[in-house]
């Protein structure tokens, strides 16, 4: 499913003293099959944007009545038309089948472990399955689907299924919560800060899990993050948000060549990009795609080329 947004704006608490413009004229295309990263400073509208993708935030109804668009005065350009399409779903249409949309676009919120509620892990994971199935799924179907989902997130079904979700460790809870979203096999999986609050090893494991999901379960993955290293190591494309606007959409490799611009936006750059620019200032040009591995290899290669005693770094 291809995701297309054009001229998308969103204001929280419109027409009140609390009004905050969270998105301003955002245009963004996410191709099918991508591992897409969305980065930005806190409050830049990342979560607001992704919540549009499965209709949790809806376009104001004034935008939907396309035929009766506001007339504009002569000489003025008509306001640009808002477009929001997710696969075959057109969210500017009046009647969107939100259930079908949410079935194909899975959404994992920040700290998803706080949404667990059922008595057993199995029931919790099966919640979405039961909600989205047209007719009531049989116990075997549920067992099968829950087992597959738990296994893909790296948990043992037999050991887990009858436990209470509240007695698990934080990392396990998060896996159960993710399993509860992917159990319906959505085509697009959106995750808001999937690695927030985990230790470095936990982060790495979550990212490995996402790559596994990307290979085996969900065609497109969209993650929101403000950890630059996470984006540079994992994503195929990244969009930078700032104050409700999209600053640029580039593969991380291109993106971090513009380390200075990013820093000006208040964003951190990955460690590798910092090292590259530090080396560049000392006259050593390293050409890499900013993943740790590639950086290390390039630097090693350079070092060896200098006969093993180069550089001031």
Partner 1 sequence: MKDVSFGQYYPVSSYVHRLDPRLKLLFLIAYIVAIFLASNFYGLAACAGVLVVIVIAARIPFGKVLRAVRGVVFLVIFTAALNILFYNGETVYASWWVFDITKEGLIFSAFLALRLVLLVVCSSLLTYTTTPVSLTDGVESLLTPLKWIKIPVHALALVMSIALRFIPILMDETERIKNAQKARGADFESGNLLKRIKAMVPVLVPLLLSAFRRADELGDAMDARCYTGSGKRTKYKKLRFTWRDLIAFLVGAALIAGVVLMKIYLPAPY
The widest CA-to-CA distance across the chain, in whole angstroms, is: 72
Is 61 an interacting residue with respect to partner 1 (CB under 8 A)? Answer: no
**CA dihedral (276, 197, 115, 161) positive or negative:** positive
Instruction: Assess 99 for contact with partner 1 (CB under 8 A).
Output: yes
User: What's the closest the beta carbon of residue 270 comes to partner 1, in angstroms?
Assistant: 30
Chain centroid to Cα 250, Å, comes to 15
Q: Closer to partner 1 by CB, 170 or 310: give it.
A: 170
Q: How far is the CB of 247 from ligand ATP (least distance, A)?
A: 13
Smallest separation (angstroms) from ligand ATP to the CB of 113: 17
Question: Applying CB under 8 A, which of residues 27, 92, 115, 291 lies at the interface with partner 1?
Answer: 115
| DSSP-derived 3-state class of residue 243 | coil
Query: HSE (CB half, 13 Å, CA atoms) of 107?
Result: 19
Least CB distance from residue 313 to partner 1, whole Å?
43
**x/- string (CB under 8 A) for partner 1, residues 2-31?**
-----------x---xx-------------
Residue nearest to Mg ion according to CB distances in the complex: 47
User: Per rule CB under 8 A, is residue 181 in the interface with partner 1?
Assistant: yes
Buried b (16+ CB within 10 A) or exposed e, 47-56: bbbbbbbbbe
Indicate whether 259 belongs to the interface with partner 1 (CB under 8 A): no
| Between 30 and 53, CB nearer to partner 1 | 53
**Length of the chain, please?**
313
Is 252:294 a contact under the CB 8 Å cutoff?
Answer: no
Number of residues that bind partner 1 (CB under 8 A): 26
Question: In whole angstroms, how close is the CB of 46 to Mg ion at the nearest point?
Answer: 5
CA-closest candidate to residue 97, choices 61, 54, 158: 54
CA distance 182 to 161: 16
Quick one: what does residue 226 bind among Mg ion, partner 1, ligand ATP, none, with the CB cut-off 5 to 8 Å set by partner type? ligand ATP
Shortest distance in whole angstroms from residue 130 CB to partner 1: 8
Cβ proximity of 35 and 225 under 8 Å: no
Q: Contact positions toward Mg ion, by CB under 5 A?
A: 47
Other residues' Cβ atoms within 10 Å of the Cβ of residue 11:
16
CA neighbor of 223 nearest in space, from 143, 236, 212, 215: 236
User: Residues interacting with partner 1, by CB under 8 A?
Assistant: 13, 17-18, 51, 54, 56, 99, 102-103, 106-107, 109, 112, 114-118, 127-128, 131-132, 166, 180-181, 184
């Amino acid at each position: 499913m291809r995701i297309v947004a054009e001229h998308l704006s969103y204001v929280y608490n419109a027409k009140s003293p609390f009004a905050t413009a969270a998105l301003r004229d955002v245009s963004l295309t996410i191709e099918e099959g991508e591992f897409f990263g969305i980065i930005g400073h806190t409050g830049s509208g990342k979560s607001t944007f992704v919540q549009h993708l499965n209709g949790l935030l809806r376009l104001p109804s004034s935008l939907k009545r396309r035929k009766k668009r506001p007339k504009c005065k002569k000489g003025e350009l008509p306001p640009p038309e808002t477009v929001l399409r997710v696969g075959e779903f057109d969210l500017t249409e009046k009647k969107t089948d939100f259930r079908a949309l949410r079935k194909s676009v899975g959404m994992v919120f920040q700290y998803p472990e706080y949404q667990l509620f059922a008595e057993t892990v199995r029931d919790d994971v099966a919640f979405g399955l039961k909600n989205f199935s047209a007719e009531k799924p049989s116990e075997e179907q549920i067992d099968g689907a829950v087992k597959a989902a738990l296994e893909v997130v790296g948990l043992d079904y037999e050991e887990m299924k009858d436990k209470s979700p509240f007695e698990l460790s934080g990392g396990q809870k998060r896996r159960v919560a993710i399993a509860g979203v992917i159990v319906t096999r959505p085509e697009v999986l959106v995750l808001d800060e999937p690695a927030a609050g985990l230790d470095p090893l936990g982060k790495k494991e979550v990212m490995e899990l996402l790559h596994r999901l990307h290979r085996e379960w969900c065609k497109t993955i969209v993650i929101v993050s403000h950890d630059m290293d996470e984006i540079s190591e994992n994503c195929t494309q990244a969009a930078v948000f700032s104050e409700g606007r999209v600053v640029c959409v580039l593969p991380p490799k291109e993106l971090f060549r513009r380390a200075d611009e990013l820093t000006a936006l208040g964003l951190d750059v990955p460690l590798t990009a910092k090292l590259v620019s530090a080396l560049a200032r000392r006259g050593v040009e390293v050409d890499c795609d900013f993943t740790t591995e590639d950086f290390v290899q390039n630097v090693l290669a350079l070092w060896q080329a200098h006969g093993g005693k180069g550089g001031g770094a």
